[in-house]
Amino acid sequence: MEKILIVDDDINLCTVLKDELTEVGYDADFVNNGDSAFDYLSRKQADLLLLDLKMPGKDGFDVLRELKTKKISVKVIVLTAYADVKSAIDSAKLGATDFISKPYDFDELLITIRKVLQRDT
Ligand SMILES: [Mg+2]
């Protein structure tokens, strides 16, 4: 079963999205800030991160930078209300595979998740 870690400071979103992903067969978990994400990844494996950009403390861009620095190999879909072209380009430069704007459409998100998980890199 593929493991998806949601990294978002919006606890309601995390709870709902975790349930939605579990319902369609993913092993989903969530953390609410960047530090917890690295703590989680030091203990457990994940195939994909759904990463919020706007979080207190370490934001999504910081998390992307740190993933690179620590050479942690995990696919990332950036999920953010601050959807604009610049954020999309900046996160892609930092290694994000794809980009979805909030409020998300679950069917659209699911298509993107499947597409990203199928990729080799
Ligand atoms: Mg946020």
Tokens of 38: 């690295």
Q: What percent of the chain has pLDDT over 90?
A: 88
Helices (H) and strands (E) in the chain, counts: 5, 5
Q: Given strand 3-7, what is the order of strands in its sheet? A: 27-31, 3-7, 48-51, 75-80, 98-101
Q: How close is the Cα of 120 to the center of ligand 1, in Å?
A: 29
| pLDDT, average across residues 85-104 | 91
**Residues by chain with Cβ below 5 Å of ion ligand 1:** 9, 52, 54-55
Here the CATH number for the domain that contains residue 112 is: 3.40.50.2300
Q: Is the pLDDT of residue 18 over 80?
A: yes
Q: How many domains does the chain have?
A: 1
Q: How close is the Cα of 9 to the center of ligand 1, in Å?
A: 5
Q: What is the pLDDT of residues 37-86, one digit of tens each?
A: 999 999 999 999 999 999 999 999 999 999 999 999 999 999 988 667 88
Q: Domain containing 50: what range?
A: 3-118
117: helix, coil or strand? helix
Q: With contact defined as beta carbons under 8 Å apart, do 94 and 61 qualify?
A: yes
Sequence letter at residue 12? N
Predicted local distance difference test score (pLDDT) of residue 19: 98
Predicted local distance difference test score (pLDDT) of residue 41: 97
Please state the pTM of the whole predicted model: 0.95
Predicted local distance difference test score (pLDDT) of residue 88: 86
User: Could you tell me the pLDDT band of residue 121, with boundaries at 50, 70 and 90?
Assistant: low
